[in-house]
Amino acid sequence: MYTTEYCEVKYLEDENAIFCQWKQFCKGDDYRNPFRYAVDEINKHNVSTWITDTSSGFENEEADTQWLIEEFMPKLIESSVDKIVFVIKNDSPLMDEIMGQVESLGEYFEVELVESLDV
């Protein structure tokens, strides 16, 4: 498990999933390192589902968004992951941003939005 004041990432064996829970705003390596850890776990366990809890989510810095698109997404697309789940409330201020991600991610993955998840 990867835990910081900003994010927690853990492998859920029963679901064969990576669960990424954001706790507060961060940027740079504080933002990127959870994704790096997750990629290692995905490859180690042949993970099929990526779950992101955006309940305490935030808008990204532009540099981190660019890194996510250029560095992380190609690794995720090439991985064993075939489904992405966003935990997000219907009235979340991030809904527009997440819907944009759903549209682009839907080209590569099954994408689902849920309001809650018992993990």
| CATH for 59 | 3.30.750
Tell me if 33 sits within 8 A of 1, measured CB to CB.
no
Q: What is the pLDDT of residue 119?
A: 52
Domain that holds residue 96: 2-114
pLDDT digits (tens, 9 = 90+) for 3-29: 999 999 999 999 999 999 999 999 999
119 within a domain of the structure (yes/no)? no
pTM comes to: 0.89
pLDDT digits (tens, 9 = 90+) for 70-119: 999 999 999 999 999 999 988 888 888 888 788 889 999 999 999 987 65
Q: What is the pLDDT of residue 116?
A: 87
Sign for the CA dihedral angle at 35, 33, 41, 14 comes to negative
27 within a domain of the structure (yes/no)? yes
Tell me if 42 sits within 8 A of 77, measured CB to CB.
no
26 within a domain of the structure (yes/no)? yes
30 within a domain of the structure (yes/no)? yes
Please state, as a whole number, how many other Cβ atoms lie within 10 Å of the Cβ of residue 107: 8
20 within a domain of the structure (yes/no)? yes
Q: What is the pLDDT of residue 43?
A: 97
Q: What is the mean pLDDT of residues 30-46?
A: 97
Please give the tally of structural domains in the chain.
1
Tell me if 76 sits within 8 A of 69, measured CB to CB.
no
